[in-house]
Amino acid sequence: MGYLTTITIHNDAQHAFEEHPEEFAKALFDGIRQAERDYKAADVGFRNYGGYIEVQHPRHADDHTVYVHCGNCVVNVNPYEQEFKDLMNRCPEFVAKLELVMKHTLQEVKRLRAEMKKKG
């Protein structure tokens, strides 16, 4: 069992990432170390593009969570982690929106699974 690190890259800065691949790789590795150290997502600056790379903290294969892509961000929705509790306290309306997104997605997964089961 190993560790996985989820990274979100805002493509608006893709041209800068491609122009400076070594710096881009270094930014990713720095972000992984920072997220691991702080045990929360790290926003990694890259040249003049602040917040265009977000690195979630490395997670052991047995440590389950749900990442929700909503709006212009990816959120680690895990009620056992302080980072999510802080988000809930700071932005309860946004967390309510995340709940709706997750509920709708789960309903569609169940519908699709039932449909596939009928087809055999």
Q: What is the pLDDT of residues 38-83, one digit of tens each?
A: 999 999 999 988 889 999 999 999 999 999 999 889 999 999 999 9
Above 80 in pLDDT, residue 1? no
For residues 43 and 77, state if they share a domain. no
- Start-to-end CA distance of the chain, whole Å, equals 34
Looking at residue 37, its amino acid is R
For residues 56 and 99, state if they share a domain. no
For residues 76 and 58, state if they share a domain. no
Residue 56, φ and ψ in degrees, nearest 5: -75, 155
d(CA 53, CA 60): 21
For residues 44 and 81, state if they share a domain. no
For residues 58 and 80, state if they share a domain. no
Domain stops at, among 28, 43, 62: 62
- In this prediction the pTM is 0.88
pLDDT of residue 51: 87
For residues 87 and 118, state if they share a domain. yes
For residues 72 and 119, state if they share a domain. yes
Q: Virtual CA dihedral for 62, 97, 40, 73, nearest 10 degrees?
A: 100
Number of structural domains the chain divides into: 2
For residues 30 and 70, state if they share a domain. no
Domain span including residue 112: 65-120
Map tokens 């990694």 to a residue. 44
d(CA 14, CA 77): 27
For residues 44 and 87, state if they share a domain. no
